[in-house]
Structure 1
Amino acid sequence: MAGGYVLCEWAEVQADYPKFQASFAALENAIIRKTNLDWAPKTNGFMLPASDQYGRTTILPSAFRGDGMTYSTTPPAGTNFIAHWRQTLTSTGHRTLIMGERSGNLIPEDIKVAWIGLAFPNKQQHITEIRFQIGDRKFGRVDLEPMRAYETPALIFEDGFILDEETGFDLYGYVEGPIPTLLWGPTTPCVYQSIVMLGALYYKNINKVLGNTGTVIP
């Protein structure tokens, strides 16, 4: 992947990876330049955009769908958006963990994402490898087992990526077994794994983010 990555403590990104602030700033400058062109004549209004501006917020989980048994508004979610980053995993092996929310696993229209990394705030980690695809561009597998040396691990990209509107996104992972007998619903053993996408989300119209919290992006 462009520029590589670093594994570190989520709470100590600045200390473990001193270039993080500069890398994230460069990524945001790149997405702002692109967004200024794509959404002209709108300009960046950051957290409080006016009617002629676009806005910025955190990456919202509801812009994505998750593994098939992850909670959304009414479990089991199946093909629904995710309302939070905690995944409910019911089987081992290769799984699609996070994907674009729209049909075809696309990022929603009028949404752009500056993606700088992933955090895994679990006491016990269940994902041992990941790989991902952005549009037609496929990235190689990344071994995550070294992150078990950290309390709250994060994977930070040195350059980061722009997930453009109406572009496909898929994050795959290997779920290590065994699945313990923790019941989700009446009968299904599962494990819980939080996978938090780090970065920023830009929206063309503020109505995209004014709905009830935890609901799908319109």
Structure 2
Amino acid sequence: MDNDNIIPHDHKIRKVDRNTKYKHASFVVWFTGLSGSGKSTLAGALENKLFDEGYHTYILDGDNVRRGLNKDLGFSATSRTENIRRIGEVCKLFVDAGIIVLSAFVSPIEVDRQKVRNLVGKDNFVEVFVDCPVEVCEQRDVKGLYKKARTGEVKEFTGISSPFEKPVAPDVIIKSDQQSIEESVLKVCEVLKSKI
């Protein structure tokens, strides 16, 4: 693809202007963990709290994004990397727009998560590892995917037939099999205080 003729337009209103107007910083809270670990539930509860307190927020959720923007992608290693790359670009746009974006994606590969952190800027990225044993996630099996993975109906399923690389140095670790949603939200909020 020839990018020589693509010249980004330099707009007058910038992130700092939006942050000033909205009276809070904008950044990404990236929830990673196995399917069924509680990423989306935690992201939703955190958004409720932040929204009620007057912050501008938006949730990007794995299944929702795969039904639209990324519906052309499968679950091969290449497709998973592209899925996260696209989400990273969307997150970058939201951060520039002055929004606190809550991104809930399995995102099993450490290097892919690091690429997003580098793309949006390390100061604009909070990684929340929703750590839950695969056995507990499988017991929950809220979407019936573990059962399908065990029978071979779903191929390359993270935690069963595809690896999950635990974050090297997450900003927050939530043990979702041991902590309540309320406790988890408060724990994340403690880290976000300095960001907001």
- Higher-helix-fraction structure: 2
What TM-score comes out, normalization by structure 2 length? Answer: 0.29
Structure-1-length-normalised TM-score: 0.27
